[in-house]
Amino acid sequence: MDDVKRSNGNQAGASPGSGEARSSPWLTVGEAADRARCGVRLIYREVRARRLRAARVGGRRELRMRAEWIDTWLDAHTTPQEIDR
């Protein structure tokens, strides 16, 4: 039984350092920033500018995002760079 618990803790979608598998498709602002490899202030700024989709939960400041929304935002607002080797 312990082997099952340990193997589930490292599944894709687990929040970093939590040791537990995520059961919800919703990301917090911190998790969204980790996924996009940016700061939480940028996430809030992009939501405020309506360039990044988010859902408000439990009041004004609680935001949740889906991973697909983060990926779509990254695809739309990044410029591919060529790397010279």
49-80, pLDDT tens digit by residue?
A: 999 999 998 877 799 999 999 999 999 988 88
For residue 71, being part of any structural domain is answered with yes
For residue 18, being part of any structural domain is answered with no
Based on the structure, what is the number of domains in the chain? Answer: 1
Q: Which domain holds residue 32?
A: 24-76
For residue 3, being part of any structural domain is answered with no
Give CA–CA dist 58/74, Å, rounded: 26
Give CA–CA dist 53/12, Å, rounded: 23
For residue 63, being part of any structural domain is answered with yes
- What does the pLDDT look like over 36-45, one tens digit per residue? 999 999 999 9
CB 52 within 8 A of CB 69: yes
Q: Is the pTM of this model over 0.85?
A: no
For residue 1, being part of any structural domain is answered with no
CB 28 within 8 A of CB 64: yes
